[in-house]
Amino acid sequence: MMKIVADENIPFVVECFSSIGDVKIVSGREITPSLVAQADILLVRSVTKVNSKLLAGSKVRFVATATIGTDHIDTEYLSRNHIGFASAPGSNANSAAEYVIVGLLEIAGRYNIHLEGKSIGIIGVGNVGSKVAKKCSALGMKVKLNDPPLARQTGQAKYLPIEELFDCDFITLHTPLTFEGMDKTFHLANERFFESLKEGCIFFNTSRGAVVDSVALKTAIKKGKLKSAVIDVWENEPNIDVELLEMVDIGTPHIAGYSLDGKVAGTIMIYKAACSYFGFEPEFDVLSFLPEPDIPQLRVNPNKGSEQIILQETVTKIYNIKEDDTKLRQILNIPKEKTGQFFDNLRKNYPIRREFQNTKIILEAAHPSIAKKLAGIGFKVSNEQK
């Protein structure tokens, strides 16, 4: 029987992968060379660095990460050593995009900003960024896109030079983390980047912590260059910059993509890839593990207030981003040597969060504009039948 070592934070990994082997689950930060030496399959998330240091001399034949990012995997080493590899691109893209929408509505409510007609610059237009673009367009925002690799591949004029995004009211990052080449993203958001932004810009990062120079971000906030910042990913995780956390409006523990729907999708993607690699017939799919949603439907009175307030109240009933912010801020009262463990535990014990498409909105009166916006950000919508 094949031996499988897996990060314990991959949901249903034992139930799923037991159909093809014997699964041992451990903390992702405790996956060591001795632990994987006799394993056939290694399953990780972003906290585990997979390289020659970890795998040299092991029996590992297949590696998979249940994440969309692969900057923690030395894919060249895997290829050279004929080790199979799979990731889960797009699995949590909708979850991360919904996080941005909830964050936008929350910040807009705090600062009395009318989102319709405001501009948002999206840097990185892959699986997540493209979904953010569609949802922001549905809210009536003006969307500007920047993605140099896509611009070169497609030649499409909609992909703008980054300089053309600097006058946007909002900027959100959705790039991978890369350290070299013409599209290097390490510290993409540096001092010059922040100085170039429109005064009072609102900044989001849900990509990777090191895409942003934390010192430059703090300077931009201190100077008042940025009106607000929403940060889900941090440099040097899990040992995050608590001074930066104190300065941002919303800070969360790298959970933007942590909907249950997204995590289960990631598990199933790597499970099917492993089955394919070793010639097994998959026994499970996403529906094998997703429970019924806690809130299958919501009744909404579309005439109870402004459209934006109704939208904010509705999304908050599905995902209250303030709760994640409040939990992370407890780290400010913890001894420095324990902050990393606290950050990791928030991720490990993250509560079940479902995506908008699991909830049907029943409008108590016809309101085409609100119906269109709710559907555009992902809800199923119907009018109450009188």
Nearest C-alpha neighbor of 207 from the set 186, 180, 179 = 186
Strand-pair category, 380-383 with 360-363: parallel
208 noted as active-site residue: yes
Q: What is the dihedral of CA 243, 176, 268, 324, to 10 degrees?
A: 20
Cα 10 to Cα 91, 173, 258, 265, distances in angstroms: 13, 25, 11, 11
- From the list 45, 174, 208, 347, the catalytic residue is 208
Q: Which of 106, 235, 237, 307 is catalytic?
A: 237
DSSP letter, residue 189: B
Nearby residues of 224 by Cβ (< 8 Å), 6 or more positions away: 199
- Separation between Cα atoms, residue 127 and residue 175, nearest integer Å: 10
CA 168-173-175 angle, to 5 degrees, is: 135
Task: List 24's β-bridge partners, or say none.
Answer: 5
- Check 254, 347, 354, 367 and give the catalytic one: 254
Sequence-distant contacts of 319-327: CB under 8 A, at least 24 apart: 319/98, 319/99, 319/102, 319/353, 321/99, 321/102, 321/103, 321/106, 321/250, 321/252, 322/106, 322/250, 324/252, 324/253, 324/255, 325/250, 325/251, 325/252, 327/253
Q: Give the C-alpha separation, 34 to 126, whole Å.
A: 37
Show the beta-strand stretches assigned E in the chain.
2-7, 21-26, 41-44, 62-65, 84-86, 119-123, 142-146, 170-173, 201-205, 226-231, 250-251, 297-300, 360-363, 380-383
Catalytic residues: 208, 237, 254
